[in-house]
Amino acid sequence: MRCPLAKQKRWAAAALLLAAAAGCATYGGGIRPMLDQLARGDPSEALSELERSPREDDALYHLERGMLLRLVGRLRESSLAFDEADRISEDLYTKSVSQEAAALAVSDRLRSYRPPAYERLLARHYQIRNYLEEGDGEGALVEARRCEQLLNELQDEAGEGPFPWIPAVYLGAALAHESAGRADDALRLYRRLFADGGEAARQLPPWIPSRMHRLARRVGVAPEELPVPDPGGDVPPSVGDGRTAVIWLERGLIPERAEFRLRVPILESEARLDPVRLGPIATQRALGIHAGFGPDLAGLEISYWLEIALPRIDPRPLAMDPSWVVVQGERRDAAVVAELGRTAGEHLDSEMPSIVLRTLVRALIKYGATRGVEKKTGEIGGILANVLGAASERAETRMWLSLPGRIDVIAIDLGEGDDSLPVGWGGRPEGSRQVELKDLPGSGFSFGSCRDLIAAVADQRGAT
- Beta-sheet pairing, 330-333 with 323-327: antiparallel
Distance in angstroms (rounded) separating the CA atoms of residues 144 and 140? 6
Determine if residue 293 is left, alpha or beta; phi over 0 gives left, psi from -120 to 50 gives alpha, anything else beta: beta
List strands edge to edge, sheet with 243-251. 335-339, 406-414, 243-251, 445-452, 438-440
- Dihedral sign computed on CA atoms, order 287, 292, 296, 300: positive
Report the pLDDT value the prediction gives residue 392, as an integer from 0 to 100. Answer: 57
Report the pLDDT value the prediction gives residue 363, as an integer from 0 to 100. Answer: 85
Bridge partners, residue 339, by sequence: 406
Distance in angstroms (rounded) separating the CA atoms of residues 307 and 159? 34
Distance in angstroms (rounded) separating the CA atoms of residues 62 and 64? 5
Q: DSSP assignment, residue 180?
A: T
Burial of 398 by CB count in 10 Å (0-12 exposed, 13-18 middle, 19+ buried)? buried
Report the pLDDT value the prediction gives residue 1, as an integer from 0 to 100. Answer: 45
Q: Is 107 helix (H, G, I), strand (E, B) or coil?
A: coil
- Beta-sheet pairing, 420-425 with 433-436: antiparallel
Distance in angstroms (rounded) separating the CA atoms of residues 311 and 255? 12
Tens of pLDDT along the chain (464 residues) come to: 444 444 444 444 444 444 444 444 445 556 889 999 998 889 999 999 999 989 999 999 999 999 999 999 999 999 999 999 999 998 876 665 444 544 554 456 667 899 999 999 999 999 999 999 999 999 999 999 999 999 999 999 888 877 889 999 999 999 999 999 999 999 999 999 999 998 899 888 888 998 899 999 999 999 999 999 887 754 444 433 568 999 999 998 999 999 999 999 999 998 888 888 898 999 999 999 988 887 888 888 998 888 899 999 975 555 567 888 888 888 888 999 999 999 999 999 999 999 999 888 888 887 776 555 445 554 444 344 444 455 557 888 999 999 999 999 999 888 776 788 888 887 665 556 899 999 999 899 999 999 988 655 544 444 43
Contact between 411 and 426 under an 8 Å Cβ cutoff? The reply is no
CA distances from 253 to 37, 39, 72, 130, 446 (A): 12, 8, 16, 20, 26
| 167 φ, ψ (degrees, to nearest 5) | -55, -35
List strands edge to edge, sheet with 323-327. 330-333, 323-327, 420-425, 433-436
Contact between 226 and 216 under an 8 Å Cβ cutoff? The reply is yes
* Beta strand extents in 392-452 (DSSP E only): 406-414, 420-425, 433-436, 438-440, 445-452
Distance in angstroms (rounded) separating the CA atoms of residues 271 and 300? 13
Q: DSSP assignment, residue 202?
A: G
Report the pLDDT value the prediction gives residue 369, as an integer from 0 to 100. Answer: 63
Report the pLDDT value the prediction gives residue 128, as an integer from 0 to 100. Answer: 98
Contact between 336 and 324 under an 8 Å Cβ cutoff? The reply is no
Contact between 220 and 226 under an 8 Å Cβ cutoff? The reply is no
Contact between 80 and 56 under an 8 Å Cβ cutoff? The reply is no
Angle, helices 275-291/340-377, rounded to nearest 10 degrees: 140
Helix-, strand-, coil-residue percentages of the chain, each rounded to 5: 55, 15, 30
Report the pLDDT value the prediction gives residue 316, as an integer from 0 to 100. Answer: 56
Distance in angstroms (rounded) separating the CA atoms of residues 161 and 140? 30
Distance in angstroms (rounded) separating the CA atoms of residues 448 and 134? 10
Report the pLDDT value the prediction gives residue 141, as an integer from 0 to 100. Answer: 97
Residues in the chain: 464
CA distances from 430 to 55, 254, 379, 437 (A): 40, 24, 66, 21
CA distances from 358 to 104, 117, 386, 429 (A): 7, 20, 19, 50
State pTM to two decimals.
Answer: 0.86
Distance in angstroms (rounded) separating the CA atoms of residues 275 and 167? 42
Neighbours of 267 (CB within 10 A): 18
Report the pLDDT value the prediction gives residue 107, as an integer from 0 to 100. Answer: 56
Chain center to CA of 232: 35
- Residue 427 contacts by C-beta under 8 Å, 6 or more apart in sequence? 321
